[in-house]
């Protein structure tokens, strides 16, 4: 396996992004509440920045939420889980909530931050999550499909070599 893919698999297996129904989130910017989880779906209404919503479920990069009695869909990166009174860093896109591997107190809610925050002990005691792996495998596409996507977007191929080993117990 290639190192970057391995890191992604480890991150997903150790800390899948799971939200509980009824969990509270806040909008990180003014955003549209959509009727369906698609960018071109009908807009039900606008949600103000720092608006409180209740998460119902998640589908791909969309969250189904309820706000003031209206249920609809919002892009996941438009939401921040946790305390709405906490200060928002300039340029916060909501990624901090998605990639932060730290438990938030005794509430039981967890947010994720990638492999960087994992200790050696966390890695040694890791438990596989077959459902997360199955989800990741569902994102795979054929070389032809990827090439077609790149061609449609007028993207050009670029070769990037792996970084040399750091010499600190690495490969």
Set out the domains of the chain in order of their start, with CATH numbers. Answer: 1-16+112-130 (no CATH), 17-99 (2.30.30.170)
Mean pLDDT, to the nearest integer, of 76-96? 63
pLDDT tens sequence across 11-62 = 444 434 444 567 899 999 999 999 999 989 999 999 999 999 999 998 888 9
Among 95, 168, 120, 94, residue whose Cα is nearest residue 10 = 120
pTM score:
0.43
Among 111, 94, 81, 96, residue whose Cα is nearest residue 28 = 94
Q: Count Cα neighbours of 146 within 13 Å in the Cβ-side half-sphere.
A: 7
């Amino acid at each position: 396996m290639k190192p970057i893919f391995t890191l992604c698999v480890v991150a997903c297996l150790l800390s899948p992004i799971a939200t509980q129904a009824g969990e509270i989130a806040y909008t990180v910017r003014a955003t549209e509440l959509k009727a369906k989880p698609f960018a071109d779906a009908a807009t039900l209404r606008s949600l103000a920045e720092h608006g409180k919503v209740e998460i119902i479920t998640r589908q791909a990069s969309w969250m189904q939420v309820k706000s003031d009695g209206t249920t609809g869909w919002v892009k996941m990166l438009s939401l921040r889980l946790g305390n709405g009174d906490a200060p928002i860093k300039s340029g916060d896109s909501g990624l901090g909530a998605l990639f932060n591997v730290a438990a938030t107190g005794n509430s039981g809610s967890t947010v994720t931050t990638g492999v960087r925050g994992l200790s050696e002990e966390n890695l040694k005691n890791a438990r596989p999550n077959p459902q997360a792996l199955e989800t990741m495998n569902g994102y795979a596409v054929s070389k032809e499909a990827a090439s077609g996507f790149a061609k449609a977007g007028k993207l050009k191929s670029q070769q990037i070599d792996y970084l040399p080993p750091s010499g600190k117990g690495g490969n």
